[in-house]
A and B are shown apart, each in its own frame.
Chain A
């Protein structure tokens, strides 16, 4: 794919590059989808789950996600006769604190994905800017960014987040959590994108563009960035997965927002009330299944995108 795309962009060298770039890409996309099943399977899994969640939002009353809104410890069945004689349905059961677990599943899945998406976008944006500054301007700028990245890689994001969160001393909202994770996890994308840019700036079409007097910004935005989009997209998916992992980790050790029904907080309550030893499989199974589906679909999408962005990985075996 990359070879097919690079040629027209390099030749046109200017505003025309974009339209040609898009046409070239979208014509073979159907054919390409058949060759790249993991991208399709991952996409179908992720959007299928979001579709179900969307339907859930429409048909189910999600107000009962708060503690003490339902009877406690009900196993999942379609109808329960409650103590006062009324009949209520809890298809996913309820937990020891009286939450409707179906409501938790409907609210928690998109909330966790939202944290991941916010963090991923923040991390990739910062990482790409840092990578281009380092790789394009070289010299002192590169040295400074490289030392920051090296130090950043030696300090796991989860630990910085723990330190920051402890010292802030209050609960972060889910969006703030996403931004905080993004701010601490841009160094890895910065490093990988930088090495991609370093390779790219030696290529003939960038060289030619420079000789024909295009400004630094022009080369970055018109020549390099369009060609890096597949790679950046693949990194974005990886970052989103990493951020979701970090957010669940942070929440599971008790540093999340206690009032938000995210998947990570559900895991936290499960560990806290040792649901496994209580035999309440219906409590831990839905968040676990949702997390597993999210990770497997993101993994499939990212390996599919990898194959798209890096033709050297094409199946030769």
Chain B
């Protein structure tokens, strides 16, 4: 934020810059500015999403209908008429700019359209249902892995740690180089296939209907254990490496020498001086990763057939359900841009130095 402002002030004044100055003068507050930037990013990204299909000159609705006709062995004759009527229904027969305005206004109302494959169902409905599964498991697990990994990294980067710790954590760090879904496959083979302790796939047993009974909750938790471990084991290392680097960087700092000279207890220097300062970039990382959970875990969900957004995305790709794919992409963009916005707004609360510069 501050960097951007400085960059603008340093450069020679042009029309764009002076307009920017006037606007930022009116809208002064940095939260407002960040929110406008958030809207800008979402708008630009969704425009790109709108343009990509038009560039290829293909018609997703017609493609889909052709595919269905081939599968069902239906007569090809009525197809063009059918495609026309569907295009009318989806508004695809309108001129480009009308389509674009419709798209943007729908988006502003958070209306993602209607699924082609499951026709009467709306994309909102489908995405929301699967989002609960993804956020429930993946969100919890990401935060857990963040806490464990940051703790591990903090201890690893501390000069007065017990020597044997190095040898315990090093294999864990190497584990972070393995993609989560491959670790998932190994876990499925070992604990579900060979040992038979845990279910092989799914979010709950195939025969049950989702409800709020105790046994169903136990069922859901049992199904969540393997994917959870796959994600935790392969991302602890990521957080630990970052935290270790930041902890090492704090070692030479003046405030550390001062704390040492004051004769403070080791544990106090560790928590209040080293970890407090090393934590800030980690939090930035967490916000960014929280935004990308959904994409990162598409394949984990695929490997475990977990009923989250990733699995829906896979089904939509297979059924070439273009509107569901587009909806998921938009939700993910909203997630990432939203996480960045929240981070920008909340960061000054964590880092007093930024608070001073902003005011």
Give the complex CA separation of A147 and B182 in angstroms.
35
Which one, B158, B200, B299, B336, contacts A153 given CB within 8 A? B336
**Beta-carbon nearest neighbor of B49 in chain A:** A163
- Where chain A touches its partner, the secondary structure class is helix
- Does chain A have a CB within 8 A of B124? no
- Does chain A have a CB within 8 A of B56? yes
Contact (Cβ within 8 A) A252 B299: yes
Contact (Cβ within 8 A) A288 B186: yes
Give the complex CA separation of A290 and B181 in angstroms.
15
- Does chain B have a CB within 8 A of A313? yes
Say whether, besides A248-B179, A276-B193, A288-B185, A166 and B299 are in contact (CB < 8 Å): no
Contact (Cβ within 8 A) A154 B336: yes
Contact (Cβ within 8 A) A154 B179: no
Contact (Cβ within 8 A) B298 A167: no
Number of A-B contacts (CB under 8 A): 144
Contact (Cβ within 8 A) A154 B333: yes
Contact (Cβ within 8 A) B52 A139: no
Contact (Cβ within 8 A) B53 A284: no
- Does chain A have a CB within 8 A of B60? yes
Number of interface residues of B (CB under 8 A): 69
- Does chain A have a CB within 8 A of B245? yes
**Beta-carbon nearest neighbor of A314 in chain B:** B248
Chain B neighbourhood of A147, CB < 8 A:
40, 44
Give the complex CA separation of A207 and B162 in angstroms.
47
Contact (Cβ within 8 A) A163 B52: yes
Report B14-50 CB contacts with A as 1/0, cut-off 8 Å: 1010000000000000000000010011101100110
- Does chain A have a CB within 8 A of B76? no
Report B45-82 CB contacts with A as 1/0, cut-off 8 Å: 10011001101101010010000000000000000000
Contact (Cβ within 8 A) A167 B177: no
Give A136-189 interface residues, CB cut-off 8 Å to B: 138-140, 142-143, 146-147, 150-151, 153-156, 158-160, 162-164, 166-169
Contact (Cβ within 8 A) B329 A163: yes
| Chain A interface category by residue count | 35 or more
- Does chain B have a CB within 8 A of A317? yes
Give the complex CA separation of A312 and B246 in angstroms.
10
Contact (Cβ within 8 A) A155 B333: yes
Which one, A154, A159, A249, A276, contacts B188 given CB within 8 A? A276
| B41 CB to nearest A CB, Å | 5
- Does chain A have a CB within 8 A of B251? yes
Chain A neighbourhood of B333, CB < 8 A:
154-155, 159
Give the complex CA separation of A276 and B44 in angstroms.
43
Most buried by A among B14, B177, B329: B177
- Does chain A have a CB within 8 A of B94? no
- Does chain A have a CB within 8 A of B240? no
Contact (Cβ within 8 A) B159 A249: no
Contact (Cβ within 8 A) A156 B185: no
Contact (Cβ within 8 A) B41 A252: no
Contact (Cβ within 8 A) B44 A151: yes
Give the complex CA separation of A147 and B8 in angstroms.
13
Give the complex CA separation of A162 and B322 in angstroms.
11
Chain A neighbourhood of B37, CB < 8 A:
150
Chain A neighbourhood of B181, CB < 8 A:
252
Contact (Cβ within 8 A) B298 A158: yes
Contact (Cβ within 8 A) B317 A138: no
- Does chain A have a CB within 8 A of B208? no
Contact (Cβ within 8 A) A249 B299: yes
Which one, A146, A253, A291, contacts B179 given CB within 8 A? A291
Contact (Cβ within 8 A) B7 A140: no
Chain A neighbourhood of B325, CB < 8 A:
162-163, 166
Give the complex CA separation of A253 and B74 in angstroms.
28
Give B262-306 interface residues, CB cut-off 8 Å to A: 291-292, 295, 298-299, 302-303
Chain B neighbourhood of A298, CB < 8 A:
177
Contact (Cβ within 8 A) A138 B60: no
Contact (Cβ within 8 A) A167 B249: no
Contact (Cβ within 8 A) A249 B317: no
Report A258-287 CB contacts with B as 1/0, cut-off 8 Å: 000000000100110000110101001000
Contact (Cβ within 8 A) B248 A296: no
| A316 CB to nearest B CB, Å | 6
**Beta-carbon nearest neighbor of B166 in chain A:** A317
Pull 22 A–B residue pairs with CB atoms less than 8 Å apart, ordered by A: A138-B7, A139-B11, A139-B14, A155-B48, A155-B333, A163-B52, A166-B320, A169-B56, A169-B58, A169-B63, A249-B298, A254-B314, A255-B317, A276-B188, A291-B182, A292-B182, A299-B174, A312-B249, A313-B245, A313-B248, A317-B156, A317-B158
Instruction: Give A residues with C-beta under 8 Å from B.
Output: 138-140, 142-143, 146-147, 150-151, 153-156, 158-160, 162-164, 166-169, 245, 248-249, 252-255, 267, 270-271, 276-277, 279, 281, 284, 288, 291-292, 295-296, 298-299, 303, 312-313, 316-317
Sample of 18 further A-B pairs with CB below 8 A, known A159-B329, A167-B53, A253-B298: A142-B7, A151-B44, A156-B295, A160-B52, A163-B52, A163-B329, A164-B56, A166-B317, A167-B56, A169-B56, A252-B181, A253-B317, A288-B182, A288-B185, A295-B177, A313-B248, A317-B159, A317-B244
